[in-house]
Structure 1
Amino acid sequence: MSNFFQTKLEYLRGVGLQRAQLLGKELGLFTYGDLIQRYPFRYLDRTQFYNIVDLHDDLPYVQVKGILRGREVIGEGPKKRMVAKVGDASGELELVWFKGVNYLEKVIKNHQEYIVFGKPTMFNGRPQMAHPELEEVSEQKPGQSFLQPVYNTSEKLKNYHRVDSKTIMRMVGDLLKIALPQVTETLSPALIEQYALLGKAAALQQIHFPQTPELLEKARFRLKFEELFYIQPKLLRQKDQRKVELAGQIFNEVPTLVHFYKEIMPFDLTGAQKRVIHEIYKD
């Protein structure tokens, strides 16, 4: 990769010096290259919609589509929370937020159709989501559904500095917009054609924001192939170096086994011992 990827993270939009220092200390991310090569460890399926009636505790993060109604703020002070309901043709889902209530009052609209994304739980026999993500259906762009990447972070970053997986996802998205034109191909056209590999830039795009499960697997294969391909010359070089630096003792004259048995050994060997000595002699 070019010198572009040695650029410090503090120069990425929305990062700044303080956050960059935290990312370096907590996650070992210092440059554009560090961030673009910090791959997700799993993905959330944003390609499937569930009916509200089918929600239960055992499901992972899911998304539903419905009309929001009944938005209200309950409680005061630390107990203040926003509660709303989203309904589709199959049932009703309760939503609750304990943080950011003042902001949510300004942006959440009654009688608006939303895509709701979060972890469903059951409360008093009814489905509920705490702190779900909301997106107006009218704002959804064509082809926007994807497998959402999940990145490792630290408890300190999440709890005290609000740098969670989604924050890192946004940072990676911003970086890819300016970084992909700087990516240079590292494998020959012959290899890419022979093994039907994705290009390096396409693989980086798809490993972070895969459009389909098939493209995600192709991106993984490409990046694994490249890593193993460049390990091979290193291993061969180390092997040659060991032959030169750690050459074993060479015996120009080796006595015959018969001489060894009769003249050197003071006792008869068992059959198994003779076989082992014979194998050593052959080597």
Structure 2
Amino acid sequence: MSIIEKPIEHLKGLSSKKARLLNIELNIHTYQDLLFFYPKKYAHIPILENVSKFKKKNYKKKIQVSGKITKIQEFNYKKRKILIAHLENKTGFIELIWFRKTNLFKRSIKKNIPLIVCGNIKYFQQKIQIIHPYIQKLSKKNISIIHPIYPISKKLKEKGINNSFIMNLLKNIIEESKEENIEEIFLQDVLMKQRLMKRKEALIQIHFPKSFNQLFQAQYRLKFEELFFFKLSFLYKKDGNTRSSLSSYPFSKLGKNFYKFYKYFLPFPLTEEQKKVLKEIRHDLKKPIQMNRLLQGDVGCGKTIIAVLSMLIALDNGFQSCLMVPTEVLAIQHYYYIQKMFSRIGIRIALLTGGTSIKIRKCIYNDIFTGKILILIGTHTLIQKTVQFKNLGLAIIDEQQRFGVEQRDIILENHKKKPHILIMTATPIPRTLSMTISRNLNISIIKKLPMDRKPIKTIHFLDRNRSQVFKLINNQIIKGRQIYIIYPTIDKCKKNEYQNLMTGYQIIKEKFKNFKDDIGILHGKMKYKEKNIQMDRFLHGKTKIMVSTTVIEVGVDVPNASVILIENADCFGLSQLHQLRGRVGRGPHQSYCILMTNNEISMESRFRIKVMCQTNDGLEIAKKDLQLRGSGDLIGTKQSGKSYLRIANIIKDYRLMKEVIPIAKNFFLSHKYIKKNFYNNYKYLWEKSN
């Protein structure tokens, strides 16, 4: 057993009780886990020798000062003990004060020994004081102006596991490693070529940096190592999948259906970007390996027509296609749009949703199984076991952030060869974006919108300025435009004080009395027919204001809608806000997205709203979302949250990721660059962290 594999219980200075706390609260079980428990940030703490400089009431910075303890006193005050020690040097003295664990500190501090003391200065009754200072013996090795700060919860701090405690444990590991060395992973030629600090030195400098230069070198080395194994894990996973199950059908030709539609029935000429994307998809579909491609483009950029043309390629090669969307409203809209186009070339398509009657459902099941239906459009119902395709060749998933990873995978089951996958979205989920950045998922991008579209203006309003918003809405209705007003909940909820749909609906009817007969309501609890009636009225301009929940979040296309007001915008995520914003701006008129909040919102919510007001770029928003939410489990099924990466960041370290990718690929092919057994060691780490 190497030193880093030792159980944490073997570590000097750690009681069994605190070891259990580290196990449970921080998932730290071995020396390696503790070494990889990196600081969340670093504090620059200057070393100041002249004590007299601190005689200022406004001096609030944390400092370090050296000296010797010359006096130790203990007092009883209000049924508790107070320990006071005098730290002196040539320029004066500072009072060091402890209100807790006085017996422990009394035993640990000795007189006339050179010390370095760190803490926040206070000036009280003309005395300079530091409350609960961090103390260590003075030596050349421990004089540092850079102090690590670890992500430790309040609960752990109350149990005595604080910054100083973690640093002392790490010092004990480093002390042990003098006798039993921490092994290097990479071979010498890699270290030299990439100018990498040795592994042991990097692990020391990340926790106890001598200088900022040493700290940056350590961070670079550990990020490189982490990203190397991160990429390698995907290569092994992809290789295993390719050899075992991810073979697919090659679509070798473009046939009469594609050419006929492209030449005579294409609703508009394709842009250069759309042609480029279609070429990329066509290139993937020719291969006998499953296509796994993300098509990213903002709302209204023309992703649907690319999906239609891709389905025609599958059709011309003798295969069925399906299009899975998150809502019935969107499924119906896609169905009518695609049916209208395909009816001209005699292609049979079908719609399957939760609202489809049992009689029609049975017919669809039979015709899908026998191959009479060539294209099936639907919601989550497509992943039911009763839906059996004759030969599914292409599965298209629209607005993939609304489906779970496992849900998306179900559609691939029960096929000897896997259908090709095309994912379409305006804002990729963090997990998907991470996979595209690390080149584990191919991406195609459509950036340009149609020429007649104007950028949506996004504005943040506080509740107290609501009258201005209502004035804007009124003016837009007079101009003949339509409005969405979105609420986060249907009914009043005890758990929060968010605006709710039912109350909001009554308020809107009161505020817009002149249009009260033209105000509709839409939410997920309504029956299928009711939703269709409400949506149909809005689509045909009979409803001026649609008061709704996020049921209209994706795909609803009403070119005349020019304003979307999102109540309690602070309770929505970035991706969801961008999707909601995409309901407007689909016509030639200037459109507005109003983000309404009260003044008391969190810093994270302020950041999200600021991002929304600054950019309309869905990919840029997805990157910010990745920074906020984390990449999720890139090997498993979590779509966002904590990932295996501890120090590297997919977005911030993108350039380094690009350097690492070819090195990881070369290792994968030749098994050079790293020493044996280290891949399994890292495999344990990422499995443990997810």
| Smaller-chain TM-score bracket | 0.7 to 0.9
- CA contact 1:46–1:145 (8 Å) conserved in 2: no
SS of the equivalent of 2:142 reads coil
- Code of the residue aligned with 2:212 in structure 1: it is P
The residue number in structure 1 matching 2:27 is: 28
Tell whether 2:173 aligns with 1:175. yes
Q: Provide the C-alpha distance between the structure 2 equivalents of 1:3 and 1:87, rounded to a whole number of angstroms.
A: 44
- 8 Å CA contact 2:203–2:218 kept in 1: the answer is yes
**Distance in 2 separating the partners of 1:229 and 1:99:** 46
Q: 1:143 to 1:113 in 2, by over 3 A?
A: closer
Determine the structure 2 residue equivalent to 1:214.
213
TM-score (norm 1): 0.75
Instruction: Give the match for residue 118 of structure 1.
Output: 119
Aligned to 2:253: 253
Q: How far 1:148 moved relative to its partner?
A: 4.1
TM-score scaled by structure 2? 0.35
Q: 1:250 to 1:206 in 2, by over 3 A?
A: same
CA contact (8 A) 2:66 2:138 kept: no
Could you tell which deviates more after superposition, 215-224 or 48-57? 48-57
Deviation string 1:199-233 (CA, Å, 9 cap, x unpaired) is 11221222222233222221111111111122233
Cα distance, 1:89–1:243 mapped onto 2, change above 3 Å: same
Contact 2:70 2:85 in 1 (8 A): yes
Greater alpha carbon shift after TM alignment, 29-38 vs 78-87:
78-87
Residues 72 and 178 of structure 1: CA distance in aligned 2, closer, same or farther (over 3 Å): closer
- RMSD (Å) for aligned C-alpha atoms: 3.7
**Does the CA-based 8 Å contact 2:65-2:118 persist in structure 1?**
yes
Q: Which amino acid aligns with 1:78?
A: K
The worse-fitting range, judged by mean Cα deviation, of 28-37 and 237-246 is 237-246
How many aligned positions are there? Answer: 274
Post-superposition Cα deviations, 1:48-107, rounded to whole Å, max 9, x if no partner, equal: 224323336554431123565675444445343234555556565343222344565665
In 2, distance between residues paired with 1:221 and 1:275? Answer: 37
Partner in structure 1 of residue 17 of structure 2: 18
> 1:141, CA displacement in angstroms?
2.9
How far does residue 246 in structure 1 lie from its aligned partner after superposition?
A: 4.2
Q: Secondary structure at the match of 2:255?
A: coil
How far apart in 1 are the matches of 2:86 and 2:134? Answer: 14
Could you tell me which residue of structure 1 aligns to residue 186 of structure 2? 187
Q: Name whichever of 85-94 and 201-210 sits farther off.
A: 85-94
Q: CA deviation at 1:130?
A: 0.9
Highest relative contact order (Cα 8 Å, sep 6+), 1 or 2? 1
**Cα distance change, pair 243–259 in 1 and its aligned pair in 2 (3 A):** farther
Distance in 2 (alpha carbons) for counterparts of 1:175 and 1:48: 26
How far 1:170 sits from its partner (Å)? 1.6
SS of equivalent to 1:210: coil
Q: 1:270 to 1:167 in 2, by over 3 A?
A: closer
Amino acid at match of 1:252: S
Structure 2 unmatched runs, 5+ = 283-690
Alignment partner, residue 8 of structure 1:
7
**Native 8 Å contact 1:151 1:169 kept in 2:** no
Partner of 1:96: 97
Secondary structure at the residue paired with 1:81? strand
> In 2, Cα distance between the equivalents of 1:195 and 1:92?
49
The alignment status of 1:231 with 2:230, answered yes or no, reads: yes
SS in 2 for 1:82: strand
CA distance in 2, matches of 1:4, 1:217: 25
- 1:193 aligned partner, one-letter code: M
The residue identity in structure 2 corresponding to 1:250 is P
CA separation of 1:258 and 1:71: change in aligned 2, threshold 3 A: closer
**Identity fraction in percent:** 26
**Structure-2 separation of matches of 1:67 and 1:121:** 19
Supply the distance in 2 between the matched residues of 1:68 and 1:242 (Cα, whole angstroms): 65
Do the aligned residues in 1 keep the contact of 2:46 with 2:63 (CA within 8 Å)?
A: no
State the distance in 1 between where 2:274 and 2:200 align: 55
Distance 1:37 1:279, change over 3 A: closer
Inter-partner Cα distance in structure 1 for 2:276 and 2:162? 64
